[in-house]
Amino acid sequence: MDFQALNASTLGDYLRTLPVITELLGDMADLDIAEVGDGNLNYVYFVSSRANPDKGLVVKQALPYMRLVGEGWPLTRHRSDREAHALRRFGSLCPQHVPALLHFDSAQSLIVMQRLGEHLILRKGLVNGVIYPKLAEHLAGYLARTLFHGSDLYLSADAKKQAVASTTNSELCKITEDLVLTNPFEDHPNNVYNPALPRGTVARLHHNPALRVAAAQMKWAFMNQAETLLHGDLHTGSVMVNQRDTYVIDPEFACYGPMGFDIGLLLANFATAYLSQDWHRAQAGTDPAPYQAWLSEQISQLWRGFSQEFLALWGAHDARSGGGFMGAARDADSLAQFRASFMQHIFSDALGFAGCELIRRTLGLAKVAEIANIPDDAARAVFDMRALSLGEALLLQRHQITDMDQVLRLLRNTRMPPP
């Protein structure tokens, strides 16, 4: 069948042709189909049978353009192949944190996956001040397992090179290279920002040579450090949660890149959740401090849990394989030094990418709801300025900061930068 852009009215007939879906939903006569996507790129549907409403699934289709902008920003549908591949790969490494892929049709760029009916997008939960007891532990485990197993620390040199070649995702990488790592640092027509932001603040950032150099260094790292298979867009809108479970969704940006990228994006999005609490808790008439303390603890635990599990996977793999990356004849001191420098390298990259993410979510095209939804421009500008200030500090100080306590101090002390 030639590619067809489906919609809530035509999707049912397509699904009825698939025995696997009939088996999953049971009665296909009367389907309840609703388009629910609020992402920037694709269309997403919830589908269930009215006869068995408790059984549902999610259908995601990539159309040949970017949803946020429309046909004026064409995109190939290749991203759907990349997403299906990444769902399989990450699902095999962390089945408890990745929705099951139930059906993939490359010709229709259409993925059917497990419906997480009892889970909410993490970003929304954080805006509402909800505590998720296992969140940091789960995300740390997901990061350690996915980032370790895609790398040369685990794969054979040949398998790793094959993996790099077969996961090329140039079109979505280009979006990241432009929208995250270039345009927000220059005066560019893609940028959209709050009219209440002082022009002087924006101009100062755009004309700060040290910041421009740092952003260019992060872009270079993203484009050239093919360290592991990344999720590639791991913000809090790519995570679904409830009190028990944590799922990482939407890996269409998956590509080989620096390990610090996924960690840095998450860190930045926890930071915007933290900074915007002053607004959201004030709206709810409650004190932001306890929830900010919980968010700080998540950030600490995320890094601590990630490092511990990553190093444990590394040690266990070396022991099993009788050598590992440094070879069998390595001595304990050089191995310890290599591991420590390796973790510090991931950490500084993560801070640099977190800085880029904070700046691009403020000056670039795509926003974060916890700040963008503050309705009053002047009130929102306060939080925009804090995000910029923290982003700048993380980018510029990424090589001097050696632990997460320093990051949390910066976060706590983030104030508006001078205009």
- Where on the chain is the footprint of Mg ion (CB under 5 A)? 39, 250
Residue 175, interface with ligand SR1 (CB under 6 A)? yes
CA 22 to chain centre: 33
Residue 233, interface with ligand SR1 (CB under 6 A)? yes
DSSP structural state of residue 312: H
Give the binding range for ligand SR1 (CB under 6 A) out of 112-120, 176-184, 204-212, 221-229. Answer: 176-184
Nearest to ligand SR1 of 72, 327 (CB atom): 72
Instruction: Tell me the C-alpha distance between 269 and 271, whole Å.
Output: 5
Total number of residues binding ligand SR1 (CB under 6 A)? 9
Strands 70-74 and 65-66: antiparallel
Residue 188, interface with ligand SR1 (CB under 6 A)? no
- As a residue count, the chain comes to 419
Q: How far is the CB of 240 from ligand SR1 (least distance, A)?
A: 15
Q: Are 201 and 419 in contact (CB under 8 A)?
A: yes
Task: Give me the helices (H) in 26-152, please.
Answer: 78-93, 122-127, 135-149
Sign of CA dihedral 49, 50, 56, 62: positive
Q: How far is the CB of 167 from Mg ion (least distance, A)?
A: 17
Residue 40, interface with ligand SR1 (CB under 6 A)? yes
Residue 394, interface with ligand SR1 (CB under 6 A)? no
Nearest to Mg ion of 123, 339 (CB atom): 123
Q: How far is the CB of 172 from Mg ion (least distance, A)?
A: 10
Of 111, 239, 255, 365, which one interacts with ligand SR1 (CB under 6 A)? 365
Burial of 169 (0-12, 13-18, 19+ CB in 10 A): buried
Binding partner selected for residue 190 from ligand SR1, Mg ion, none, CB under the kind-specific 5 to 8 Å limit: none
Residue 75, interface with ligand SR1 (CB under 6 A)? no
Where is 229: in which H helix or E strand? Answer: strand 228-230
Q: Provide the mask over 44-73, with x wherever binding to ligand SR1 is found by CB under 6 A and - wherever it is not.
A: ------------------------x-----
Of 47, 75, 102, 180, which one interacts with ligand SR1 (CB under 6 A)? 180
Q: How many other CB atoms sit within 10 Å of the CB of residue 356?
A: 28
Give the binding range for ligand SR1 (CB under 6 A) out of 20-28, 173-181, 205-213, 274-282. Answer: 173-181
Amino acid identity at 3: F
Q: How far is the CB of 218 from ligand SR1 (least distance, A)?
A: 14
Nearest to Mg ion of 250, 262 (CB atom): 250
Nearest to ligand SR1 of 31, 365 (CB atom): 365
- Whole-angstrom CA distances from 20 to 15, 24, 80, 82 are 9, 6, 20, 22
Q: How far is the CB of 182 from Mg ion (least distance, A)?
A: 20
Of 366, 385, 393, 394, which one interacts with ligand SR1 (CB under 6 A)? 366
Binding partner selected for residue 175 from Mg ion, ligand SR1, none, CB under the kind-specific 5 to 8 Å limit: ligand SR1
Residue nearest ligand SR1 by beta-carbon distance: 40
Where is 72: in which H helix or E strand? Answer: strand 70-74
Q: How many CA atoms lie within 13 A of 381 on its CB side?
A: 14
Sign of CA dihedral 360, 365, 370, 374: positive
Q: Are 259 and 349 in contact (CB under 8 A)?
A: yes
Q: How many other CB atoms sit within 10 Å of the CB of residue 359?
A: 26
Instruction: Tell me the C-alpha distance between 353 and 113, whole Å.
Output: 30
Binding partner selected for residue 12 from Mg ion, ligand SR1, none, CB under the kind-specific 5 to 8 Å limit: none
Q: How many other CB atoms sit within 10 Å of the CB of residue 345?
A: 16
Residue 350, interface with ligand SR1 (CB under 6 A)? no
Residue 179, interface with ligand SR1 (CB under 6 A)? yes
Give the binding range for ligand SR1 (CB under 6 A) out of 8-16, 79-87, 175-183, 315-323. Answer: 175-183
Q: How many other CB atoms sit within 10 Å of the CB of residue 183?
A: 18
Binding residues for ligand SR1 (CB under 6 A): 40, 68, 175-176, 179-180, 233, 365-366
